[in-house]
Each structure stands twice: as C-alpha cells, then as structure tokens.
Amino acid sequence: PRTPACTNMCHMRQVPIYEGYAMPHAIQRLDIAGRDVYENLKRLLSQRRGASDPDLSRYPRRELTNVMRDILRRHAFVARDFRKELDGFDDAAAVPYVLPDGRLICVGSERFSCAECVFD
C-alpha cells in the first residue's frame, strides 16, 4: 500500500491507501510537519553558503518564511530512496530561485534533503 501524507505547518496525517481506497481506521497523526521541513530547508541552505550564496539571515523573518514556503511548494520532493538520490545527484540538477531582492540562490540536494526530518 501507498501512504500519502496530508501536511500543514503544525502536524501531518498519514493516510494508508490500499488498492486505491483510504483506510480511515489506520490514519495516524504525526506532530512533525511543514514547519519542521521549512526549518530544515532554511538550515540546509544557510549551512551551504558559499561565496556566491546570499546570506539568508539578513532577510526579515516573514519574508524568509514566504521564500522557504515557495521553494518547498515549487521545488521540494520526497525521495523514494534518499541515499540513491543523494549519490546520483548532479549539481547541474540544482534549480535557480530568485529571492525577493533579485539575488539568485541555487537549490540543489536541499530539494529532497529537507523532507528527511519527517522520517528520522
């Protein structure tokens, strides 16, 4: 069975699916969700800072929250096999993201690494 997840900023629900039907008796609530993924993405992007990467700490909190949410919505995904995805990742697969002030940040393996906190 597949297990999709419905998430918001505070919690997440795992909904087991069997042969195309939800199994309501097996739905689980997890107290880890969007906020944790957002914080993990912010941490990963901040740690990776190179000479050409913008300093994310200089952005106002609300603006940075909107940026992280937008990056998550547009570019993030959950890897089926994290180790395989990481080993096969090529920097050419990084996606550019234009920050509100016009500066560019490239989002690489952070696209799928940010969601791993849900599985720890």
Q: Which pLDDT tens digit goes with each residue over 97-114?
A: 999 999 999 999 999 999
How confident is the model over 6-61, as pLDDT tens digits?
A: 455 566 777 888 998 989 999 887 777 778 888 999 999 988 766 667 888 889 99
Is the model more confident about 118 or about 50? 118
Q: What is the mean pLDDT of residues 66-75?
A: 92
- Reported pTM: 0.73
pLDDT score for 3: 44
Contacts (Cβ under 8 Å, ≥6 apart) of 22: 15, 16
pLDDT band at residue 2 using 50, 70 and 90 as cut-offs: very low
CA distance 23 to 45: 37
Q: Which residue has the tokens 């900023």?
A: 9
Domains of the chain: 1-31 (no CATH), 33-118 (3.90.640.10)
The chain-wide mean pLDDT, for the chain, equals 84
